[in-house]
C-alpha cells in the first residue's frame, strides 16, 4: 500500500530509482523494499522518488529515516548558494550539511528564525547541533556556527557573541533575564547591538561592551531615547541595593531608580529615578529608600496602602545643588504629559492612569520656598529656591489615576489651599496615608461603593489627624477642597459628597477632643465607623453635625 501523500506515479518512479541504484551497486543481490537501497553513497526511500546522499543520508538514518519526525524526503540533494554546502528537504524540514559543521536538521520555529536571518549565508551560518532540551524541560536550543537559537512558547530567537556571553553570566534562560524575545538587532548608530529578553535587554557597543538593563531603569532610559540619549550606552551591569534601589552607570551619568513604582496595569508601572553625575549613597528607611548626595537627599516613601508614595527632594545646606532632576519611566504605549499641577501618565485611550504632583517647597519654619518646574521628554527639571532655614524640603505625591484627586499634591483645589497655607499643609500633608491604612485594616472586606463604613472612617481619621496637627480652619478649607477635587471623578454623586462632608465634621470634633493623641483619634473613628448610621439620603438629616459624635453611611451590611 502506498503511504498517504504519495501518488502511484511517484511510487513507480521511486521503484525505478531503486533499481537504478541497485544496478550501480557493487552488491547486486536483491534487497527488500522495506530496507533502503544503497548505491553510489545514496539511498531512495520508497515511495518518495528522491535520493538522499552522504552525510545527510547518514544523519537521516540515525534519526530513524522515514519513521523519524522528518518523515519522507521531498527533494534530491541540493547544492546551497555558497557552492559548498548541501541540503535535502523532508516533509517536516531540511537537513543541512557543510564540511565544517556536519549534517543537522533545522525544523519548525528554529527553521523560521534561521530563515529570517538569511539561512546559512546570514550571521548564524550552518547548524552545528540538533535541537537540545533546556534544563527547564520547557524550552529548546540549537547551536549554529554564528550563534544559538533559543525557543520557548512558539517563539525562537538567536543570541550570539558578547551579548550571548553576558546573558550566560546572568544564568541563561534560567536567570533573571529569562528567554530572548528578539534576534540580535543592529542599532541605528551602526555600531551597537542589542537583544531583548523576557525581563530586560542586553546592549553592546565596541566602547562599552555588553551590559544588561532591566526594569525601571530600562523604562527611564528608553523614555530618554535609549543609547541616542544624553546618557549613551550602559557602561556597567546594574546594581541592586537594599530596599530595591537600582543603580546603573552609563557612558554619561548614572541613573538611580527608587524601586517604588505605581502599578497601573499587569506588568506596567510608573517609576521615578534620579540621574546623577556622581555616586549617591543609598539607604533604606521605613516604607522607603533615600538617596544621599552632596548637600541633598532624595527620599521615596510609601504613604498609603493604595500604592501612593511621596518623593521629596531635600536641600540640607548651601552645598546642595539648586537644580535637581527626576526621570519618569513607563513602557511603550503610554504617554507622559505635564499640567500646571502634575505630570500625568495616560494610556492609549487618553485615560490618566497615574501621576506625580509637581513639588512644593517648604523650609524648616514651614514657610513656602519657590520651585520652578520644566518637563521635557521624561525629565522633570526642578529649579529649587533657597532659604536659610535648612533643611528645605520639596515634596510631592505619586499616585494611581483614581487617587490623584485624593492628595494635597495632586488634587488641584487642595494644592491651592497648600499654596495659601504652607505651614499647616506641610505639617499634616500626608494624614490621608494613616487614615487610608487604618480604615482598610479595620474593614478589610469593605468597598467604598457597597460598604461605606470604610470611607466614613477614613474621612473621620483624616480630618481628625489634620485637626490635631494643624487647626480647625485649615482643616475645613482642606476638606472642602478635597470634596471639590473629588467631584470631577467618575462615579461622583451628590449624596456621597454630603456623606463625606458630614463625616469630615465628625473628624474635626474627634481631633479637637483628642489633641495630642493620634491613636485615640484613630480608634474613636473606627468605632464610629462600625456603628455608622445608614442614611441613604443625607439631606434628610441635620448636616451641620453640631456634636460630631457619629458617622453616616449611604449603605453597609
Rounded distance between C-alpha atoms, residue 31 and residue 240, angstroms: 69
Closest residue by Cα to residue 49 from 21, 18, 77: 18
Angle at 458 (CA atoms; ends 454, 464), nearest 5 degrees: 145
Beta-carbon contacts of residue 357 (< 8 Å; ≥ 6 apart): 341, 342, 396, 397, 398, 407, 409, 410, 415
Q: What share of the chain is helix, strand, coil (3-state, %, to 5)?
A: 30, 30, 40
Closest listed residue to residue 221, CA positions, set 269, 253, 189, 261: 253
How far is Cα 301 from Cα 288, in angstroms, rounded to an integer? 4
Cis before residue 99, ω within 30 degrees of 0?
no
State residue 537's pLDDT score: 96
Extract the C-alpha cell encoding 466: 489634620
pLDDT at 46: 94
Q: In angstroms, rounded to a whole number, what is the distance separating the alpha carbons of residues 320 and 322?
A: 6
Q: What is the pTM (predicted TM-score) of this model?
A: 0.89
Closest alpha carbon to 297 in 394, 368, 387: 394
Instruction: Give the residue among 461, 380, 387 at the shortest CA–CA distance from 422.
Output: 387
- Average pLDDT per block of 10 residues along the chain, 557 residues long: 79 72 56 46 95 98 97 97 97 98 98 98 98 97 98 96 98 98 98 97 98 97 97 98 96 97 93 97 97 98 95 96 96 94 96 96 96 96 95 97 94 96 95 96 84 95 97 97 93 94 98 97 98 96 96 94
How many CB atoms neighbour CB 31 within 10 A? Answer: 14
Q: Which residue shows C-alpha cell 543592529?
A: 186
The strand pairing partners of 282, in sequence order, are 291
Cis, bond preceding 484 (omega within 30 deg of 0): no
Q: In what helix (H) or strand (E) does residue 500 lie, and over which residues does it extend?
A: helix 494-513
pLDDT at residue 304, rounded to an integer: 96
What distance in Å separates the CA atoms of residue 314 and residue 18, rounded to the nearest whole number?
87
- Quick one: cell of 368? 513656602
For residue 265, give every residue at least 6 positions away whose Cβ sits within 8 Å of its Cβ, in sequence order, or none: 347, 353
Give the pLDDT of residue 24. 63
What confidence score (pLDDT) does residue 557 get? 86
Amino acid at each position: 500500500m502506498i503511504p498517504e501523500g504519495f501518488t502511484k506515479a511517484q511510487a513507480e518512479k521511486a521503484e525505478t530509482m531503486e533499481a537504478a541504484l541497485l544496478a550501480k551497486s557493487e552488491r547486486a543481490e536483491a534487497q527488500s523494499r522495506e530496507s533502503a537501497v544503497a548505491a553510489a553513497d545514496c539511498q531512495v526511500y520508497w515511495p518518495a522518488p528522491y535520493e538522499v546522499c552522504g552525510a545527510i543520508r547518514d544523519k537521516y538514518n540515525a534519526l530513524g529515516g522515514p519513521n523519524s519526525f522528518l518523515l519522507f524526503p521531498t527533494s534530491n540533494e541540493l547544492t546551497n548558494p555558497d557552492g559548498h554546502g548541501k541540503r535535502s528537504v523532508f516533509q517536516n524540514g531540511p537537513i543541512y550539511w557543510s564540511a565544517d559543521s556536519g549534517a543537522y536538521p533545522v525544523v519548525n520555529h528554529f527553521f523560521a528564525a534561521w530563515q529570517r536571518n538569511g539561512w546559512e549565508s546570514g550571521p548564524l551560518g550552518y547548524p552545528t547541533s540538533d535541537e537540545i532540551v533546556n534544563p527547564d524541560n520547557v524550552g529548546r536550543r540549537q547551536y549554529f556556527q554564528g550563534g544559538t537559537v533559543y525557543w520557548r512558547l512558539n517563539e525562537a530567537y538567536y543570541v550570539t557573541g558578547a551579548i550571548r556571553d553576558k546573558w550566560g553570566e546572568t544564568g541563561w534562560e534560567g536567570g533573571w533575564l529569562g528567554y530572548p524575545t528578539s534576534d540580535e538587532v543592529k542599532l541605528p548608530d551602526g555600531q551597537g547591538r542589542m537583544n531583548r529578553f523576557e525581563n530586560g535587554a542586553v546592549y553592546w557597543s565596541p566602547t562599552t561592551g555588553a551590559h544588561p538593563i532591566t526594569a525601571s531603569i530600562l523604562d527611564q532610559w528608553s523614555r530618554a531615547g535609549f543609547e541616542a540619549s544624553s546618557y549613551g550606552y550602559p557602561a556597567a551591569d546594574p546594581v541592586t541595593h537594599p530596599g530595591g534601589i537600582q543603580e546603573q552607570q552609563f557612558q554619561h551619568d548614572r541613573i538611580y531608580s527608587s524601586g517604588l513604582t505605581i502599578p497601573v496595569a499587569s506588568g506596567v508601572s510608573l517609576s521615578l529615578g534620579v540621574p546623577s553625575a556622581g555616586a549617591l549613597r543609598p539607604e533604606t528607611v521605613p516604607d522607603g529608600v533615600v538617596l544621599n548626595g552632596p548637600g541633598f537627599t532624595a527620599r521615596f516613601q510609601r504613604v498609603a496602602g493604595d500604592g501612593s508614595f511621596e518623593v521629596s527632594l531635600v536641600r540640607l545646606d548651601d552645598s546642595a545643588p539648586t537644580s535637581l532632576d527626576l526621570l519618569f519611566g513607563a513602557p511603550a504605549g503610554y504617554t507622559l504629559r505635564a499640567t500646571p499641577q502634575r505630570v500625568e501618565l495616560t494610556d492609549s485611550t487618553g485615560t490618566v492612569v497615574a501621576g506625580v504632583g509637581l513639588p512644593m517647597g517648604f523650609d524648616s519654619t514651614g514657610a513656602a520656598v519657590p520651585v520652578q518646574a520644566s518637563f521635557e521628554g521624561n525629565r522633570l527639571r526642578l529649579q529649587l529656591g533657597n532659604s536659610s532655614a535648612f533643611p528645605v524640603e520639596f515634596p510631592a505625591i505619586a499616585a494611581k489615576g483614581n487617587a490623584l484627586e485624593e492628595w494635597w499634591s495632586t488634587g488641584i483645589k487642595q494644592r491651592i489651599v497648600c499654596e495659601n497655607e504652607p505651614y499647616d499643609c506641610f505639617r499634616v500633608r500626608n494624614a490621608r496615608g494613616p487614615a487610608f491604612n487604618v480604615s482598610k485594616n479595620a474593614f478589610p472586606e469593605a468597598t467604598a461603593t457597597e460598604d461605606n463604613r470604610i470611607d466614613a472612617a477614613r474621612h473621620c481619621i483624616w480630618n481628625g489627624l489634620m485637626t490635631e496637627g494643624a487647626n480647625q480652619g485649615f482643616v475645613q478649607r482642606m476638606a472642602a477642597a478635597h470634596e471639590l477635587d473629588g467631584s470631577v471623578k467618575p462615579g461622583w454623586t451628590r449624596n456621597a459628597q454630603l456623606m463625606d462632608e458630614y463625616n469630615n465634621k465628625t473628624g474635626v470634633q474627634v481631633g479637637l477632643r483628642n489633641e495630642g493623641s493620634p491613636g485615640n483619634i484613630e480608634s474613636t473613628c473606627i468605632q464610629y465607623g462600625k456603628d455608622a448610621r445608614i442614611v441613604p439620603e443625607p439631606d434628610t438629616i441635620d448636616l451641620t453635625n453640631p456634636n460630631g459624635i457619629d458617622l453616616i453611611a449611604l449603605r453597609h451590611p
